[in-house]
A and B are shown apart, each in its own frame.
Chain A
Amino acid sequence: QVQLVQSGGGVVQPGRSLRVSCGASGFTFSSYGMHWVRQAPGKGLEWVASISYDGSDKYYGDSVKGRFTISRDNSKNTLYLQMNSLRAEDTAVYYCAKDRSSAAGIFDYYMDVWGKGTTVTVSS
């Protein structure tokens, strides 16, 4: 079945870096755009970043632009989020998610499969 398995969260000091990963199975990973969405404790959902099926197009939310980098390795069916210069306000559960359709252009409008989430805590 279609599955996204996340890893790499943890506790990190402000200003430091962390990389989270998302392994995909059960679908042709290289055909789908992928996304990162986060949720701060007790808050709503916030879009973080998106990457096209081949990695050539990347887009970021304003709050992470210039600090976070989304990437993918289609040979390993894995999505990454490199987070640099972390701040306390980056503390959240980070979800990876898959485009609903591979036929909607570079990116679909919706996300149909989500990972279980990985917790990132930025604290001294």
Chain B
Amino acid sequence: EIVLTQSPATLSLSPGERATVSCRASQSVTNYLAWYQQKPGQAPRLLIYDASNRATGVPARFSGSGSGTDFTLTISSLEPEDFAVYYCQQRSNWPPKYSFGQGTKLEIK
């Protein structure tokens, strides 16, 4: 079973600053990694898939990078609506089993 570990657990920043969230996999997932955003009381929203591809409608300030076991989600300049919880996610090849990181809360400083 592949375990995803995110860091930090909480990130306190101000609007306009750059945010960086890390996700480390316990074994290689090649580039099959996604990032989701979840706001309070809402369902998760797919932001990034295949480690670096933005999903439809996702602003360009969101970017993803990495491969193998180490991945990063970057928000270049924080907007007020970006303060939320972010999760990374992977799927094992076969049998298909999905797992999520424990989440990173991005809060306003």
Residue positions of A touching B, CB distance < 8 A: 35, 37, 44-47, 50, 59, 61, 95, 100, 106-107, 109-112, 114-117
| B49 and A110 contact, CB distance less than 8 A | yes
24 example contacts (A-B, Cβ-Cβ < 8 A) are as follows A35-B98, A37-B44, A44-B101, A44-B102, A45-B87, A45-B100, A47-B97, A47-B99, A50-B98, A59-B96, A59-B97, A95-B43, A95-B44, A100-B46, A107-B91, A109-B50, A109-B90, A110-B89, A111-B44, A112-B49, A114-B43, A114-B45, A115-B43, A116-B43
How far in angstroms is the closest Cβ of chain B from A82? 20
| B100 and A109 contact, CB distance less than 8 A | no
| B45 and A109 contact, CB distance less than 8 A | no
Please judge, given known A-B contacts A109-B49, A109-B91, A114-B44, whether A46 and B55 are in contact too, CB under 8 Å.
no
**A-B contact number at CB 8 A:** 59
Q: How far is the CA of A61 from the CA of B42 in the complex (A)?
A: 23
Contact of B95 with A by CB under 8 A? yes
Please judge, given known A-B contacts A95-B43, A110-B34, whether A59 and B95 are in contact too, CB under 8 Å.
yes
**A residues in contact with B64, CB < 8 Å:** none
Q: How far is the CA of A110 from the CA of B90 in the complex (A)?
A: 8
Q: How far is the CA of A62 from the CA of B84 in the complex (A)?
A: 29
Q: A111 touches which one: B46, B102, B103 (CB < 8 A)?
A: B46
- B50-92: CB near A (< 8 Å → 1, else 0) gives 1000011000000000000000000000000000000101110
Most chain A C-beta atoms within 10 Å of own C-beta, residue among B32, B43, B89, B100: B43
Residue in B closest to A35 when the chains form the complex, CB atoms? B98
**B residues in contact with A50, CB < 8 Å:** 96, 98
